[in-house]
Amino acid sequence: MKQFLIVMLAVALTLAAFGVTAAYAEPVDGEAQAGIDGSTIRVNAYDESAGYSASIWFSNFEPDGTCTGTDYVIFNCDAPLKGIGLPELYAGIQANNSDCTVRFELFAWDTDAGKTLKGTPVFSEDVYFNGDSKELPHFVFDTAKSAGQYLFRITQLTPKDVDDETSFPYSVLPIGELIYSENKIEFDSRGPFIFFIECEKTEGVSDYFLNLEGKGSEIDIQPEKTIFKREGAVPHPIFEFGIVTPVVPEGQALYSISLTEAPTWANPNPDSDVTYEVFKWTGDYEESIAGKAIDNGELLDHKDNSNLTLKFGSKLRYGNAYLIVITRSNSGAIGYYQGGYEPSDEWLFYEYGLQLDYCPAMKAAYALVGDLGPEPTDEPTAAPTDAPATDAPTDAPAATEAPDVTSAPKPTGSDKEKDKSESKSENKFPVVPVIITACALAVIAAIVIILVVKKKKKA
């Protein structure tokens, strides 16, 4: 009976020691990210709930009769990259003898797209599509790639057979509503196609796609949102096109606007250029453009059916509505597609100063900027005066006597020592649990020795 009580006491002390130690364990910061397994998370660049459609025709029709094409996306990954893929890819129709091969490549970023594409890909694979396919082009790397910036390129390799008019290979990339705006993910001419990446699951990291333009505390760019969806294939040319914005909400700036898939009518020359100017909206078009321009710029060589995106940074700040005037700057055709809703009281649209009764297919991105302080103004801060800028000199003699020495007592080190003492006590390893644990272990050791000695005596 005594031996049983001794053993129970030892068990209780051991459990108490572990309990005290656990109570002083450091908490784990951050929550584990949801993922496809215990160590991997899949991050979509698109909104799954909004769906997607295969409407980016990937083939480029060259003058020599070939039918090859290429496109790429640039993104940043803030965790080791384990895989990449597309939710779907359509390829040539087998009945027309039009199957094709597509190459998928991943490059580590190097300065710019041109230099990056001259390098050696860190991953490359050719996939043969035999007929229309909804297979998932999904690539898992043997070894995870380091976190950083990448360029993912997709190229159709199979050309059109010039000797066979029925051979007409093509591949089509799906597009959809992006979760991350094109301010964070940059596409080539045919974007934005949708894709996903798979990363190492990392606690405390919630956004694996990072802003490529230097996201900081001063300006936090929010995901781009569709204002008016494209409806059908009704294009309108741009000559002098005006967009009136709503009043920008408090603490925000209108970072960018995009005319969705702006056409150039397959303009053969690279002169589809526009300039733009931004004015404060006064309620009248002519009065507004007579004011001082807040921002201006030029976009050169726009590519057919890519988004025409104007970026303003934090210049279009909260508290104002703005008039953005986009003007064709040369003979190259350029335009916008019609949106699916009538303009609201918040967004207004003009052509040559005349208000339109329809809207463009358009997106916008806002940025959180916090308190920017008083708005800059060109008006003088004080009324002019004839008074001299500085006081007139006087004949008073210069001071020659040294100032009186202060009689305040010198600071003692007591306060500093007290602060250091408190800081050390906060950072010290807890002494009490260590002592309790050591005592518990000593008691257990003594009990074991007593039991062994008694057993030997009986023997």
Instruction: Name the residue with higher pLDDT: 33 or 360.
Output: 360
What's the rounded Cα separation, in Å, for the pair 73 and 85? Answer: 12
- Residue 31 reports pLDDT greater than 70: no
CB 284 within 8 A of CB 318: no
- Mean pLDDT over residues 420-426, rounded? 38
Q: What does pLDDT average to over the chain? A: 74
Instruction: Name the residue with higher pLDDT: 172 or 167.
Output: 172
> Of 156, 189, 215, which one is at a domain's C-terminal end?
215
Within this chain, do residues 120 and 250 fall inside the same structural domain, yes or no? no
- Residue 93 reports pLDDT greater than 60: yes
| Domain range for 369 | 220-374
Within this chain, do residues 184 and 316 fall inside the same structural domain, yes or no? no
Within this chain, do residues 227 and 206 fall inside the same structural domain, yes or no? no
Beta strands in 148-250 (DSSP E): 148-156, 171-176, 186-187, 196-200, 220-221, 225-228, 230-237, 240-244
Residue 78 included in any domain: yes
What's the rounded Cα separation, in Å, for the pair 127 and 130? Answer: 10
Within this chain, do residues 150 and 293 fall inside the same structural domain, yes or no? no
- Residue 445 reports pLDDT greater than 60: no
Residue 443 included in any domain: no
Contacts of 400 (CB under 8 A, 6+ apart): none
- Number of domains the chain is built from: 2
- Residue 225 reports pLDDT greater than 70: yes
Q: Determine the length of the chain.
A: 459
Tell me which range, 177-181, 191-195, 233-237, 293-297, is most confidently predicted by mean pLDDT: 293-297
Within this chain, do residues 313 and 356 fall inside the same structural domain, yes or no? yes
**Predicted pLDDT at 302:** 85
Within this chain, do residues 262 and 208 fall inside the same structural domain, yes or no? no
- Mean pLDDT over residues 312-328, rounded? 94
CATH number of residue 353's parent domain: 2.60.120
Within this chain, do residues 171 and 304 fall inside the same structural domain, yes or no? no
Residue 324 included in any domain: yes
> Of 152, 184, 215, which one is at a domain's C-terminal end?
215
Residue 356 included in any domain: yes
Beta strands in 24-170 (DSSP E): 40-44, 52-57, 60-61, 67-77, 81-85, 90-91, 100-108, 123-129, 138-145, 148-156
What's the rounded Cα separation, in Å, for the pair 171 and 367? Answer: 36
Banded pLDDT at 404 (limits 50, 70, 90)? very low
CB 208 within 8 A of CB 81: no
Residue 312 included in any domain: yes
pTM of this structure: 0.54
**Predicted pLDDT at 450:** 57
Least confident of 216-220, 223-227, 341-345, 389-393: 389-393
Question: Widest CA span of the chain, in angstroms?
Answer: 116
**Predicted pLDDT at 185:** 84
Within this chain, do residues 328 and 280 fall inside the same structural domain, yes or no? yes
Least confident of 4-18, 217-231, 257-271, 297-311: 4-18
DSSP for residue 95:
G
Radius of gyration of the chain (CA): 34
Residue 136 included in any domain: yes
**Predicted pLDDT at 182:** 62
**Predicted pLDDT at 89:** 82
Least confident of 9-13, 100-104, 112-116, 402-406: 402-406
- Residue 28 reports pLDDT greater than 50: no
Residue 20 included in any domain: no
> Of 326, 355, 374, which one is at a domain's C-terminal end?
374
- Residue 309 reports pLDDT greater than 80: yes
Within this chain, do residues 255 and 112 fall inside the same structural domain, yes or no? no
Within this chain, do residues 124 and 161 fall inside the same structural domain, yes or no? yes
Residue 96 included in any domain: yes
**CA nearest neighbour of 85 among 195, 220, 229:** 195
**Predicted pLDDT at 73:** 92
Within this chain, do residues 270 and 303 fall inside the same structural domain, yes or no? yes
Within this chain, do residues 90 and 173 fall inside the same structural domain, yes or no? yes
**CA nearest neighbour of 181 among 153, 215, 156, 138:** 215
